[in-house]
């Protein structure tokens, strides 16, 4: 089995609707990844084990999505020096503003790169993870350039309804 380079974790199965957009990007670039549910609140022992072992397993970056009191990305960052990309998942009562603020306001010394709320943030976290890997991989870097070129082309060719 191919060893995963990126780990995509989420606080609950209910976050998948959002987090699948990160996974879709990794699929598109043929990056080996793993996706799993880990919760700082509900499975704290698993969180410590996961974050403590990730680097030794060859993981290069962790995308962590959570909603509400979204402590997952920050707690993972507390237990590893791997880059942690935090995705605020839309929440039922506060539309994800709670998730965003929980993730973005980290104390100095424990960084989490925080993305936008919801699907676009998850997709951008996926693209950012690809960009991190592309720093030392010229083939992947060229694929990223091509992705951007196609996106520009599709915006320039967009036709508005009459
Ligand atoms: N924020 C966290 C954490 C965590 O930060 O560890 N664990 C679960 N959750 C969040 O609780 C929300 C509701 O979860 P349920 O839908 O399972 O009740 C989810 O968005 C999840 O990310």
Task: Indicate the pairing of strand 113-114 with strand 33-37.
Answer: unpaired
Which pLDDT score, from 0 to 100, does residue 132 have? 98
What count of Cα atoms within 13 Å lies in the side-chain half-sphere of residue 27? 8
Q: Is 27 annotated as a binding residue?
A: no
Q: pLDDT digit string (tens) for 82-141?
A: 999 999 999 999 999 999 999 999 999 999 999 999 999 999 999 999 999 999 999 999
- Please say whether the beta carbons of 68 and 17 come within 8 A: no
Q: pLDDT digit string (tens) for 28-43?
A: 999 999 999 999 999 9
- Please say whether the beta carbons of 115 and 128 come within 8 A: yes
Distance in angstroms (rounded) separating the CA atoms of residues 152 and 39: 38
**Does ligand 1 lie within 6 Å of residue 72's CB atom?**
yes
Q: pLDDT digit string (tens) for 62-86?
A: 999 999 999 999 999 999 999 999 9
Ligand 1 centroid to residue 12 C-alpha, Å? 5
pLDDT category, 162, cuts 50, 70, 90?
A: confident
User: Angle at CA 87, nearest 5°, toward 82 and 92?
Assistant: 145
Distance in angstroms (rounded) separating the CA atoms of residues 79 and 92: 29
Residue ranges and CATH numbers for the domains of the chain are 6-157 (3.40.50.1970)
DSSP 85: E
Distance in angstroms (rounded) separating the CA atoms of residues 70 and 77: 13
Ligand 1 centroid to residue 81 C-alpha, Å? 23
């Amino acid at each position: 089995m191919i060893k995963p380079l990126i780990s995509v974790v989420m606080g609950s199965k209910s976050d998948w609707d959002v987090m699948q957009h990160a996974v879709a990007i990794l699929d598109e670039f043929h990056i080996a990844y793993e996706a799993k549910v880990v919760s700082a609140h509900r499975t704290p022992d698993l969180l410590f084990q996961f974050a403590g072992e990730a680097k030794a397993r060859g993981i290069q970056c962790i995308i962590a999505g959570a909603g509400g009191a979204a402590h997952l990305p920050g707690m993972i960052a507390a237990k590893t020096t791997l880059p942690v990309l935090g995705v605020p998942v839309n929440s039922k009562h506060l539309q994800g503003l709670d998730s965003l603020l929980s993730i973005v306001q980290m104390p100095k010394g424990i960084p989490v790169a925080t993305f936008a709320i919801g699907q676009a943030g998850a997709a951008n976290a996926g693209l950012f993870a690809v960009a991190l890997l592309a720093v030392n991989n010229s083939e992947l870097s060229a694929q990223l350039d091509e992705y951007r070129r196609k996106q520009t082309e599709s915006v320039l060719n967009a036709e508005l309804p009459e």
